[in-house]
Amino acid sequence: MNTAAKVISSGESVFIPTGYVDLKATLDGGQVFRWWSDIGGFRGVIGQRAMLLSETSNGVSARPVDGKSLNGLRRLVSDYLGQQQDLVGFQKRFSDDPCLGPALRGYPGLRILRQEPWECLFSFICSATSNIPRIKRNVGTVAETLGDVIGTGSRDVSFPRPEMITDAGEQCLRDLGLGFRAKYLVFAAESVASGELNLNDLRKESFAYARRVLTDLHGVGEKIADCVLAFSLDKTESFIVDRHILRALHKWYDLPEKASHSYAADWARDYFGDHAALANQYMFHRERLARRAKDWGGQHISRALPEDGRY
């Protein structure tokens, strides 16, 4: 019996004391696109590790499905689930907020992930004029075609390095269904592979500087940049504006009806401060579920699904 079989059959896992984490809301809510529901939890990849994450009463259990040991898994998962976020301060500050208060009580386990920046950037360039099911399909197809196998399942693959994307080229990405986004993905990969853009270094830079660097990339506008800043580059003041969020800001915070997305993002960063990214995700989750319930109550489900997401 090989090592992988031993790990899987023995059910070895490690407990990460994160407090309650709602894995479905966190891993299947538009932040990340390579996790899927499996028996006992959610299966996916963090860096070079394939694993199954399961909810526990006061944390998360991580079980490798890649044949590797438990060494380093606790720290990897804890970091990925954003344990350094000021959740307690956020909850205290906005517990009585008319929009966020009910969201905090209704979805207490929602977290903002701290993803690997290159996969995050690639994923959100894929998000342009798309929706969650299509983004999952696009990102998954690229990973399974160009990435390295690291586990026992067909989707247990590492995300392809920027050099792999540049070597594959634009036509390969078009053939994989990326359409007009293919050229922008290659531009971004070339910038990272050449060293012109060091995404990890942006974690240490100011929000304004990091945002400017990202929006200088072809095909990366403010919304895509704000997603990458919030979900991978530690910019807690990042605030992503889409139709769900704009509707919520009009409804709960009296934002002017004709306010642009840029104005709304600036206003929200000033209002929510260092808790802006958390506020954004809780607000988005509340509005998304409310809109879905409304659509499903009055329309056929297939009419609601294409609008699901922030793209």
pLDDT tens readout for residues 159-192: 999 999 999 999 999 999 999 999 999 999 999 9
Q: Per the structure, how many domains does the chain have?
A: 2
Domain that holds residue 126: 117-232
Q: What's the CA gap between 7 and 64, in Å, rounded? A: 7
- 35-38, strands of its sheet edge to edge: 14-16, 59-64, 49-56, 41-46, 35-38
Contact in structure between 214 and 188 (CB atoms under 8 Å): no
Torsion sign (Cα): 77, 21, 115, 307: positive
Place of tokens 């995050």: 120
Q: Position 103: which residue type?
A: A
Query: Which listed residue (68, 136, 223, 235) is catalytic?
Result: 223
- Is residue 262 included in any domain, yes or no? no
Say if residue 201 is in the same domain as residue 126: yes
CA distances in angstroms from 270 to 199, 249, 263, 279, 280, listed in the order given: 25, 13, 11, 12, 13
d(Cα 96, Cα 108) in Å, to the nearest integer?
14
Any catalytic annotation for residue 223? yes
Give residue-wise pLDDT tens across range 44-100: 999 999 999 999 989 999 999 999 999 999 999 999 999 888 999 999 999 999 999
CATH code for the domain of 67 = 3.30.310.40
My answer on whether 193 and 130 are in the same domain is: yes
Nearest to 217 by CA among 254, 170, 183: 183
